[in-house]
Each structure stands twice: as structure tokens, then as C-alpha cells.
Chains A and B, each alone.
Chain A
């Protein structure tokens, strides 16, 4: 299955989001998180993101079919870029970064991953969340 990495300035935010994702999509999809800085402040950290991506990829026995990273704002992208540069080419080849919104994208991507969707499918599902209306117009 495809795994997800959730990146945010806040650890609390991604912990809560992971909980929500597991409740909607089930617990078969591996979801790792990187929230806040190494010393527990709000912010992002390339080493923490690196760890989360490695954990999402998994070892040789449980290697993911792909990894989709979803992130919040600003420096998250910069830290993520550094973390991606750290990866082996073979690992980098199966990691993609989603343009989708963090919350809706994560939930929808996880459901797509849970039914065995490919990395393309999961990436498309998360990006599609951009156009999902928040409220139905009466």
C-alpha cells in the first residue's frame, strides 16, 4: 500500500489528523507524522521530516508501494525540500509531495490508499480535495 506522511508546524495538529485519518480509512495505511521542531516548539524540522519519511517507506520487508507527503504552510516546504535531498535515489523515486489541502487531502488520500490505489491514484485523490466544497450551497 501507499503510505502517507503528514507535515505541520504543530505536532498536536498532525497527531489529531492522524487519529482522524485512522478512524475514516482504517489502520492498514501507514501514516507517519512530523510536527513542530526537535525541541517541541511550533515550526518544522528537516530531520524530523526525514525520519517520518523513512518510517513511511519502511524496511525491506514492509516497504511501501509509494509515499505521499502532505504539508501545511510556509517553511514546511523548505524543511521538506531539505529532507527530500537526504533520501537515497531509490527512496526519493517513490516519494511525492501533494499539492492538496492537509486535512481533506490526508483523509481522502488515506481512503484511496486503503483500497490499494497506486501512488498516482493517491496523489490524484489528495489533489482533488482542493475542489471539494466546504458547504453545499442551498
Chain B
């Protein structure tokens, strides 16, 4: 099951407008997509679920996609989050 960890850059965290855009993009995919922050998870296709997660600035979120178009979904969502978040570089060692 592919996943990807991102760091939120936007000083307001993942606020309503980008969260809404994110939900709209996620909904185009068949895969089940979740966002994990710490020990909490939200359904990436539900704005209420996403806003309930209250993603804060500088925090890390992990996108987890499960389904036939999982890789494509993660790609599209990372692109969509472009101005608001960057992929967290993996620590080697």
C-alpha cells in the first residue's frame, strides 16, 4: 500500500480552501485515501473529516492510498498540495 509523508509549509496549516481542493482531487480516484497525523486519521475524500484532523503548520502528514489507482492518486495529491506542503526527505542511514 503506497504512502507518502509530507511536511505542511503553509503558516495556517491545511486550512479550508486547500483542504477543499484536496478533497475534490482525492474524490476523482477510486482508491481509499487516508491522511494520518500522529495517531489520528482522516478520510481524504471528506472535508469534515479532514478539517476535524486540524493539520497544523510544520506538522507532518502521511498520505496512504489503497486501490488500483493508488500511485496516481498520491502523485496528484502531492501536486495539489504543492504550494502548501513538501515531501519530507527520507533520512538515510
Contacts and interface: CB of A to CB of B under 8 A. Distances in A.
Given A132-B52, A136-B56, A115 B16 contact: no
A43 interface: no
20 contacts: A24-B16, A24-B20, A25-B20, A26-B24, A108-B48, A111-B23, A111-B47, A114-B24, A115-B23, A115-B24, A115-B27, A115-B45, A116-B27, A125-B47, A125-B48, A128-B48, A129-B48, A131-B52, A132-B48, A136-B54
Chain B interface size range: 10 to 19
A84 B46 CA distance: 29
A133 B51 CA distance: 9
Contacts of B54: 133, 136
B19 to A, nearest CB: 9
Interface in A89-138: 107-108, 111-112, 114-116, 125, 128-129, 131-133, 136
A-B pairs with the 5 shortest C-beta distances? A115-B27, A128-B48, A111-B47, A136-B54, A111-B20
Contact of A23 (B17, B23, B45, B47): B17
A60 to B, nearest CB: 28
A15 B56 CA distance: 30
Contacts of A108: 47-48, 51
User: Interface residues of A toward B: which range?
Assistant: 10 to 19
Interface string B57-74: 000000000000000000
User: Chain B at the A interface: mostly helix, strand, loop or mixed?
Assistant: helix
Interface of B: 16-17, 20, 23-24, 27, 45-48, 51-52, 54, 56
Given A24-B17, A125-B48, A132-B48, A111 B56 contact: no
Interface of A: 23-26, 107-108, 111-112, 114-116, 125, 128-129, 131-133, 136
